Amino acid sequence: MNEIKNELSGKTQVEIGIEGVIKNVEAAKRDFIEKTDQWKRQVPNEYRNFDYDFVMANREQFNSIDYLTELRPVEQLMHDGVAEARSRAEQGDIIRIGKAEVSQTDDEAHKLLFQAITDFEDRENRDIRSKDKERWDTQEKKCRPINFQGLKFGEGIEFLQRLGMLYYDLQLDRLKHDLSLAKSKRATWKLQQVMFPDYAKGLVVCSVCARLISEVGPRPDYSDIDDDRSSSPSEDSIVYGDETNDLGGPENKD
């Protein structure tokens, strides 16, 4: 019955799965924003203007900032995720960022993701690169910093928050695209006549019920009827209450 309800609700198992992932990513984004808001409030005044990279490279000297150990893996996750996605989008490779994935053949998705990251770089006036590629982009003659270069510690936390929001937004954009695509692939609806052995008249059922009958019941014969319906049945076509029996068919009123 749950399978029928899910089909009739208009959601496939693929859609339900993607919606679950979207909810998890949205929850992770909210937790990240809350955590970085807390970090921004807790930046010690005496270290606020220290160089961010210097503080992170010498964390053992800044024991009074008790969240540095927690901050480091978060920074790596957000930065490396975006930097790797940028590089792969530029090269046309498979992109995996968090819970989202872009196939190698989806050129349009590569362009959109690359554009989103470069727009972010332009707004921030700094480039996002993998750690082993931190350099000045002399090829394009851009003299702007890479990653966290030149940021004070307080500024670095704020930049990390914006970078992390991009990290989650890139995932959500792709997942919502996948959800839309899944919805477009829903099976079309039609009525079928099901013929059972030793049953004089055929039963007219929807395609979902016909499939379920074929899986759990005897092997009936199927034949599509002329009234082919390509959309989901409306509530007006479904009878509720005493007019139906437990199997959804008409009650015998002898």
Q: Please state, in angstroms and rounded to a whole number, the distance separating the CA atoms of residues 19 and 231.
A: 22
- What b/e readout covers 180-214, taking b as 16+ CB neighbours within 10 angstroms? eebeeeeeebebbbbeeeeeeebbebbbbbbbbbe
Nearest to 100 by CA among 116, 115, 113: 113
Instruction: Please give the model's pTM, rounded to 2 decimal places.
Output: 0.69
- One digit per residue, the tens of pLDDT, for the chain of length 254 reads 565 555 555 678 889 999 999 999 999 999 999 999 999 999 999 999 999 999 999 998 998 898 999 999 999 999 999 999 999 999 989 999 999 999 989 999 999 999 999 999 999 999 999 865 545 444 555 578 999 999 999 999 999 999 999 999 999 999 999 999 988 877 666 666 777 666 666 667 666 676 666 666 555 454 444 444 444 444 333 232 333 333 334 444 44
Amino acid of residue 87: S
In which residue are the tokens 């872009």 written? 102
Distances (CA, A) of 244 to 160, 217, 238, 248: 59, 20, 10, 5
Residue 235 has a pLDDT of 37
Q: Please state, in angstroms and rounded to a whole number, the distance separating the CA atoms of residues 113 and 41.
A: 32
**E strands in the chain:** 95-97, 100-102, 191-195, 203-206, 221-224
What does DSSP say about strands 100-102 and 95-97: parallel, antiparallel, or unpaired? antiparallel
Residue 234 has a pLDDT of 40
Q: Please state, in angstroms and rounded to a whole number, the distance separating the CA atoms of residues 202 and 221.
A: 9
Question: Which sign does the torsion angle of CA 172, 178, 180, 183 carry?
Answer: negative
